């Protein structure tokens, strides 16, 4: 059988197959909240997307509270089950940069998670949600004095220090308040994770963290220099432990294992030099999810089990007590919990080369509500959502309405041949980094977030923007320009 017969189209990527049934919802991507009702309409936790679009507009982000909470719970339970036999205590922080509003923060905390924030704005949302300060962490490679001050005033449980200058700044601010700042040092373990370069964060040549490698012979590494600086200012800084994060959307296990080994080795070095057994280690997040049939996401139980095996070996040869471990999943929880509902507009077919055509299906959103394809060359899939079609599938490219040729939502997908204006498409796994990265490019108001609650009732948890919202920020809007 030729490749073209397998893929069905010379422009299709090698992994994309012609579906036997274009209405089928691949369970690896369309997780348990999705189904089709008797009329053929896609439902989210039993609510037809036609109803959601009619009531809340299009495009719309739709999030399943049940799925979000169950995935958060599963992460916590998996790490607890794997590490408890080793006598290791575990904390899980939801990486709120993936998706954050007050409702989402409350869901995470209700499932026993803390909230990991990366800016003063994210910190403010977590506090507005009623999250206790001690269950919040603050990250960031360039925290301002105002952000650090807000964290200290809120009594956050940990401030992840990213540089030597930040050690000094935080100590000064803590002394002004007569308090000790709880510090984790973010270290760069030199791991080259298998992911897009823009979301790989543990190699040397990037902005995050304190390197484990010395800059010159005989000189301590930046990480060890930061340990020394914190201990020298013990009156203002309480050094809790070490933190690392190797990147995002990673499937391979090797990078996580290498990072854990190197951070644990640094902990041994600190104990040998200063006699201090750092009590906490944070190994970040970054575990990948399936966006298309080409992705093979690892089960969280396997991830936790691998880590437990590595830690058990490390503890056998160590004289130090087991550290308290923490993790920061974001995409793993939020990504599969959400989807985006779009309405189809223009449909056109273009000739790419003699005898080879591609169909472009334009929708009412695009890179303003999902920037990941243009930023990271990310792949998604889509289905015709408001009906089932008897027409044969056609290779299609789902594109947005922005004035950019790179405004692509789904690069390659087979959709029924009769998709037309007014149809609805659902793009799954948009719960993470889509709303967070959304913009008003071309002056498009940002969609709202509609949550289908555990009670089965859909409600807007972030209001859809209006044109009035956008104009409200322009002092000249509505001004008398005739004078």
Q: What is the pLDDT of residues 284-343, one digit of tens each?
A: 888 889 999 998 888 899 888 988 898 888 888 889 999 999 999 999 999 999 999 999
Cis peptide before 59 (omega within 30 of 0): yes
Tally of residues, the chain: 483
Q: What percent of the chain has pLDDT over 70?
A: 93
Please state the rounded mean pLDDT for residues 167-191. 94
Tell me the average pLDDT across 358-382: 96
Residue 195: per-residue pLDDT: 42
pLDDT digits (tens, 9 = 90+) for 60-81: 999 999 999 999 999 999 999 9
Confirm or deny that 93 is annotated as ligand binding: no
Residue 156 shares a structural domain with residue 227:
yes
The active-site residue out of 101, 244, 339, 403 is 403
272 is in an annotated binding site: no
Q: Which residues have CB under 8 Å from 72's CB, separation 6+?
A: 92, 94, 107, 108, 111, 112, 113, 333
Of 293, 328, 363, the last residue of a domain is: 328
CATH code of the domain containing 458: 2.40.37.10
292 Cβ neighbours under 8 A, 6+ residues apart: 15, 16, 29, 379, 380, 381
Range(s) of the domain holding residue 323: 87-328
Query: Does 376 carry a binding-site annotation?
Result: yes
Mean pLDDT of the chain: 92
> Both 97 and 157 in a single domain?
yes
Other C-beta atoms within 10 Å of 456: how many?
11
Q: How far apart are CA 30 and CA 427, in angstroms?
A: 9
54 and 159 share one domain: no
**CA 133 → CA 236, 283, 369, 466, distances in Å?**
18, 21, 31, 33
**Alpha helix positions (H), 25-134:** 49-56, 65-83, 102-110, 120-128
Q: How many CA atoms lie within 13 A of 312 on its CB side?
A: 11
Burial class from Cβ neighbours inside 10 Å (0-12, 13-18, 19+) for residue 396 reads: buried
- Residue 441, annotated as binding a ligand: no
CATH number, position 274: 3.20.20.10
User: How high is the pLDDT of residue 191?
Assistant: 66
Domain membership of residue 378 (yes or no) is yes
- Going by the DSSP 8-state scheme, the letter that residue 281 receives in this structure is E
286 is in an annotated binding site: yes
Give 182-201 as a DSSP string: EEEEEEE-----SS-GGGB-
Confirm whether 403 is a catalytic residue.
yes
Q: Which of 328, 362, 380 is the last residue of a domain?
A: 328
Tell me, yes or no, whether 17 lies in a domain. no
CA distance 410 to 382: 7
The number of distinct structural domains making up the chain is 2
More confident residue, 108 or 217: 108
Label residue 200 by pLDDT band (50, 70, 90): very low
H-assigned helices in 233-347 = 254-274, 300-316, 331-334
Report the alpha-carbon distance of residue 291 to residue 277 in Å, rounded. 41
Of 263-277, 299-313, 344-358, least confident by mean pLDDT is: 299-313
- Asked if residue 329 belongs to a known ligand binding site, the reply is yes
Looking at residue 479, its pLDDT comes to 67
3-state secondary structure of 159: strand
State the pLDDT confidence band at 11, using cuts at 50, 70 and 90: very high
**Per-range mean pLDDT, top range of 8-12, 87-91, 171-175:** 171-175
Q: Tell me: do 303 and 343 sit in the same domain.
A: no
pLDDT for the residue 298: 85
Residues 296 and 346 in one domain: no
Last residue of a domain, one of 271, 304, 328: 328
202 and 297 share one domain? yes
434 with 345, same domain: the answer is: yes
Is residue 303 a contact partner of residue 250, using CB atoms and an 8 Å limit?
no
The pLDDT value recorded for residue 480 is 64
Rounded distance between C-alpha atoms, residue 7 and residue 18, angstroms:
6
Residue 476 lies in a domain: no
Same domain, 176 and 307: yes
Strands 408-416 and 393-399 turn out to be antiparallel
Find out whether 331 is annotated in a ligand binding site: yes
Per-residue pLDDT at 332: 94
Residue 245: predicted pLDDT: 85
Residues 258 and 316 in one domain: yes
- For 397-439, write each residue's pLDDT tens digit: 999 999 999 999 999 999 999 999 999 999 999 999 999 999 9
pLDDT at 3 over 70: no
Residue 260: band (very low, low, confident or very high) from pLDDT cuts 50, 70, 90: confident
Note the pTM of the prediction, 2 decimals: 0.93
The verdict on residue 437 lying in a domain is yes
User: Do 303 and 160 fall into the same domain?
Assistant: yes
Distance from first CA to last CA of the chain, Å, rounded? 74
Residue 116, burial from CB neighbour count under 10 angstroms (0-12, 13-18, 19+): buried
Of residues 199 and 276, more confidently modeled:
276
- pLDDT (mean) for 459-479: 93
**Spatial distance between the Cα atoms of 58 and 54, rounded to a whole number of angstroms:** 8
**410 falls within a domain:** yes
Q: Is 177 annotated as a binding residue?
A: no
Do 281 and 172 belong together in one domain? yes
Whether residue 283 sits in one domain with residue 344: no
Structure-model confidence comparison of residues 205 and 131, the more confident one: 131
Q: Sign of the C-alpha dihedral, residues 67, 72, 78, 81?
A: negative
**Model pLDDT, residue 193:** 47
| Burial (Cβ within 10 Å: 0-12, 13-18, ≥19) of residue 418 | middle
* Per-residue pLDDT, 481: 56
Cα–Cα distance for residue pair 352/50, rounded to 1 Å: 34
């Amino acid at each position: 059988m030729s490749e073209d017969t397998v893929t069905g189209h010379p422009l299709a990527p090698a992994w994309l197959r012609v579906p036997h049934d274009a209405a089928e919802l691949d369970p690896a991507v369309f997780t348990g909240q999705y189904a089709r009702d008797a009329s053929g309409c896609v439902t989210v936790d039993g609510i037809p997307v036609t109803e959601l679009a009619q009531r809340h507009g299009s495009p719309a982000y739709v999030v399943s509270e049940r799925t979000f909470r169950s995935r958060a719970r599963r992460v916590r339970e998996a790490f607890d089950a794997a590490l408890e036999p080793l006598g290791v205590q575990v904390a899980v922080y939801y990486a709120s940069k993936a998706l954050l509003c007050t409702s989402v923060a409350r869901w995470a905390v209700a499932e026993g998670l803390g909230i990991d924030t990366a800016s003063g704005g994210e910190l403010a949302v977590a506090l507005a949600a009623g999250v206790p300060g001690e269950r919040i962490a603050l990250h960031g490679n360039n925290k301002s004095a105002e952000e650090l001050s807000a964290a200290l005033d809120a009594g956050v449980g940990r401030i992840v220090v990213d540089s030597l200058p930040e050690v000094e700044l935080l100590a000064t601010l803590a002394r002004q308040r007569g308090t000790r700042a709880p510090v984790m040092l973010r270290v760069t373990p030199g791991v080259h994770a298998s992911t897009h370069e823009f979301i790989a964060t543990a190699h040397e040549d990037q902005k995050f963290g304190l390197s484990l490698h010395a800059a010159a012979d005989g000189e301590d590494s930046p990480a060890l220099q930061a340990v020394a600086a914190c201990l020298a200012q013990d009156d203002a800084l309480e050094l809790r432990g070490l933190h690392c994060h190797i990147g995002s959307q990673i499937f391979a296990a090797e990078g996580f294992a290498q990072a854990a080994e190197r951070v644990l080795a640094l902990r041994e070095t600190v104990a040998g030099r200063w006699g201090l057994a750092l009590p906490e280690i944070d190994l970040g997040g970054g575990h990948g999810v399936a966006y298309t049939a080409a992705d093979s996401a690892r089960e969280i139980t396997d991830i936790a089990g691998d880590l437990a095996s590595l830690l058990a070996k490390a503890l056998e040869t160590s004289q130090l007590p087991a550290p308290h471990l923490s993790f920061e999943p974001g995409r793993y929880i939020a990504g599969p919990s959400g989807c985006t509902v779009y309405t189809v507009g223009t449909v056109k077919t273009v000739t790419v080369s003699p005898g080879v055509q591609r169909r472009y299906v334009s929708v009412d959103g695009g890179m303003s509500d999902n920037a990941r394809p243009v930023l990271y060359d990310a792949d998604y899939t889509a289905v015709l959502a408001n009906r089932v079609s008897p027409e044969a599938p056609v290779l299609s490219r789902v594109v947005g309405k922005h004035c950019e040729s790179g405004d692509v939502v789904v690069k390659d997908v087979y959709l029924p041949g009769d998709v037309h204006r007014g149809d609805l498409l659902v793009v799954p796994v948009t719960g993470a980094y889509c709303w967070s990265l959304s913009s008003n490019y071309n002056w498009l108001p940002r969609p709202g977030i509609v949550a289908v609650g555990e009670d089965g009732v859909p409600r807007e948890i972030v209001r859809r923007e209006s044109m009035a919202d956008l104009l409200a920020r322009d002092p000249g809007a509505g001004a008398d320009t005739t004078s």
